[in-house]
Each structure stands twice: as C-alpha cells, then as structure tokens.
Amino acid sequence: MKIAILSRNKKLYSTRRLIAAAQARDHEVAVLDVVRCYMNITSMRPSIHFRGEDQSGFDAVIPRIGASVTFYGTAVLRQFEMMGVYPLNESVAITRSRDKLRSLQLLSRKGIGLPVTGFANCPDDVEDLIKMVGGAPLVIKLLEGTQGIGVVLAETQKAAESVIEAFMGLKANILVQEYIREAGGADIRCFVIGDKVVAAMKRQAQAGEFRSNLHRGGSASLIKITPEERSTAVRAAKVMGLNVAGVDLLRSNHGAVVMEVNSSPGLEGIEAASGKDIAGMIIEFITRNARPHHTRTRGQG
C-alpha cells in the first residue's frame, strides 16, 4: 500500500512514528508538506503536485494538519478525496471538529455531556451571559485557540466581565464555559480509533495552572476509564465523523463532559503513558479499511 502523510515536519514524533509503523508493515510512505502541495482542479482528472511532481497513485492519506493551516490543509485533503484516495480522517470531519462552536452544537444535539457553555456577540449581554453559565469562576476560550493558548480562568464576576469585554472589543469570537472545579486541573485524553478507545491517559496541570495541556507543562499518566467515559468518547468521535480522534473529557459531578475532540491528536504522550503502539494501530486500521472512493461524507459539504 502507498500512504501519504500530510505533515509540515517529518521530524515530529507523531510523523516519525507513523512512518516507522507503516514501513514495518511493508507499506510505501511519502511525507508531503501540505502548504507546498498545489492542485489542478478539473472535472476529468483532478491532481495534486508537490515539488514539481504529480502525487497520484496513493491508496491512503493520513492528515496531520496543524490548526494554523486548517483551511488550506483540508482543501488539499479534499483534493485527495476527489482523486479517490482513502482519508484516515475526512476533510469535512476535520473542519467540523476545528470549529469549537459548531462541534459543541453537534455534540449537544446528540445528547453528549458538555460543560454549560455560552456564546454571545454584544457587550450589553455580558452580565446575563455570565449568569447563564453559573457565574464565576468561569473559563473563557478563544474559538481559534489551540494547545491551551487563548484560554483564561476568570475567578470573579468583575474579572470575567473585564476579560469578556476586552475580547469582544477586539472582535474576537469567544466561548464562556462553567469551570469544573471538581476536576482539579486534570482531564482525560481518550484516544479513539474506529469504534474503540485504544488508550487513555490522565493529564494533570502543574501547580498554579488550570490548563492540563502537555504543551503547557502538564504531566501524563495511565488511567482506567469507566464504561460511561469510554462510551462518551466513542460517541463524540462518531458525531464529528472522525476515525481517529483525541477526545478530552473532564470528570464532573454530573458525569463525564467533553471539552474538545481533536482531529490530529499527538502520539508521544499517549504512547509514553500507555506503552502501546498507537501508530501501529492506526496503520492497521487503514489497512483494514482503505479502498478507493471510500468517504462517508462525500457530497455533504
């Protein structure tokens, strides 16, 4: 099988592990910098070129598209789909999961547990918005933020009003969410492949920090999740339409709540915490499922 990996940097841990896992199973692998790809959009023979060469002949494509290049990255992935190449995660599903507001609305529609979340446009509504999510302390998130950047914990009513008004003054789109105090600065990353949680880890924020992201100094450890948490993670990935996802959960007093569904979850933390060959599981999933023109969301956006 010939597999393309869309990645800006072939030296990244996740990319290196996917290359090694594919080659260990005798697959041919090429890493393509997604922003260096360019497309010929035509009715008869759509194509993608990279560094002057036609990139046809791939059986599957693994998108490792960073948030900063989502628009162009998903356009390239969509072109591969038009060429009949099997995508590990489809372009529509990635776009859906990257839109924090849309993803929460879709999860809500399917009855999946979420923190109480507010969204507003007008500064005149700030007081009621804060009241709606249960008052301070609360969490304010930039819609475009990643890896914990653009996430603020407002501990008082006045602080919350000031931060929200500041963001609104900058015309930034924000979400306002209840603060799950009982989580104790920890969340659970469930790694979903297909219809299974293949590994889970607890991410604990460092002292004085409420964001548990490993990029922000959080620590990771193996954790045993409950059947409810397992089911919630699988359902959340399915709602997004993702075959592979990192689903971030918090343990609240009213059960597991989903914070985010990540379409390009990193492998380093989860493999270190679980001791499992997650990259190998991903390649095996592709081997079982890849076939030409096999996209579930074809024609749906």
Q: For the chain, which domains are there? A: 2-96 (3.40.50.20), 117-179 (3.30.1490.20), 182-286 (3.30.470.20)
When pLDDT is cut at 50, 70 and 90, the band that residue 81 belongs to is very high
Is pLDDT at 214 greater than 70 in this prediction?
A: no
Q: What string of H, E and C letters represents the secondary structure of the chain?
A: CEEEEECCCCCCHHHHHHHHHHHHCCCEEEEECHHHEEEECCCCCCEEEECCEECCCCCEEEECCCHHHHHHHHHHHHHHHHCCCEECCCHHHHHHHHCHHHHHHHHHHCCCCCCCEECCCCHHHHHHHHHHCCCCCEEEEECCCCCCCCEEEECCHHHHHHHHHHHHHCCCCEEEEECCHHHCCEEEEEEEECCEEEEEEEEECCCCCCCCCHHHCCEEEECCCCHHHHHHHHHHHHHHCCCEEEEEEEEECCEEEEEEEECCCCCHHHHHHHCCCHHHHHHHHHHHHCCCCCCCCCCCC
Mean pLDDT (the chain) is 89
- List pLDDT tens digits, range 228-247: 999 999 999 999 999 999 99
**pTM for this structure?**
0.87
